[in-house]
Amino acid sequence: MRHLYLVALPLALAAHPLSAQEAAPQTSAPTELQAGGFVGVNVGRTYLEADQVDTKDHQPETLGFYGSYAIPLFQHFSLQVDGDIEFYQFDTKDSDNTLRDGLGAVHFSYKDPQQGLFGVFAGGGATVDGGDDESNKTFQFIGLEGQYYIQDITLFSQAGFLDGDDDENETIDNGLFARGGASYYFTPNTKLTGSLSYVTGDRYNHPRPGDARDGEVNIFSWGAEFKQNFTALPVGLSASYNGHDFLIKGDESDEPVVHEFRFGAFFQFGTSTLQENDRTAAGSDLPELKRWISLSTNEVD
């Protein structure tokens, strides 16, 4: 029954009278970059396969806050900043525990609203937990990204380097990641996005004396997001799903398959439609970098 609701919600939003005025196709493509972005909040639930993680709570609840803002620097150059923080409430073996992970990022790109973009991005973040150990896990990343616009379709790809650090040597070191996907605009304010990602890196690459593990981590991720903005309302709505399959050599007890569902609302400013924002302002996003770090470091205990 839960899956029927997940399918029905996007269809109901697209058919709602408030979005009927968005049904007409966009008459002209935007030609100039603009300053603009969005802020949002979401709630949801994460599902962990019971036999692959060391916690008695396999359905933690989540609360997240995020935002992006972009400004044009020159005629075809844009600078975008991102922020994202999320809280996970676990009922652990010993007591309640709140996992917190977040990141910040900067994108610099050459962007043509009628053709696409090419740019670089970089940033860092942390995951903080009171579970199996209380040390902070930090990470840094840098990469390249590109987008190509074909009428109401946006194709995108990203590739980069991800490196983490923690006292237990459980995090991803010297990681390489890649992501690809597409967005389709049913109307300028109705958008569906799908993507696939992969990351590979070292784990336990600095084992303690007597620890023979010399492992690696490989993670496959997939996701989909539906967004509906309303010109008659100050906010839009979103629904998303992300899945992760962890394959960890050297510690096979930490190989969760994770399913994450999120529902939220966002406020967009500086532009009037989702498509206009994505092609002239804050149109770049990121892979699930902070989730890869927090889950691969066993931060569900």
**Residue 50 DSSP code:** T
Question: What are the extents of the domains in the chain?
Answer: 72-296
Burial of 217 (0-12, 13-18, 19+ CB in 10 A): buried
Tell me the pLDDT band of 293, cut-offs 50, 70 and 90: confident
In whole angstroms, give the CA distance from residue 76 to residue 270. 17
Per residue in 248-284, pLDDT (tens digit) is: 776 555 677 889 999 999 999 999 999 999 999 999 9
Per-residue pLDDT tens over the stretch 138-187: 899 999 999 999 999 999 999 999 998 877 777 888 899 999 999 999 99
DSSP state at residue 250: T
> What pLDDT shows up at residue 128?
79
Residue 294 — very low, low, confident or very high, per pLDDT cuts 50/70/90? confident
**Distance (Å) of CA 90 to CA 45, 85, 97, 143:** 11, 17, 5, 32
In angstroms, how far is CA 69 from the centroid of its own chain?
16
Of 103, 99, 105, which is closest to residue 134 (Cα–Cα)?
99
Dihedral pair phi/psi, residue 277, rounded to 5°: -60, -45
Residue range 57-101, pLDDT digits in tens: 467 788 999 999 999 998 899 999 999 999 877 665 555 566 788
Distance in angstroms (rounded) separating the CA atoms of residues 83 and 80: 10
Fold topology of 72-296: Lipocalin (2.40.128)
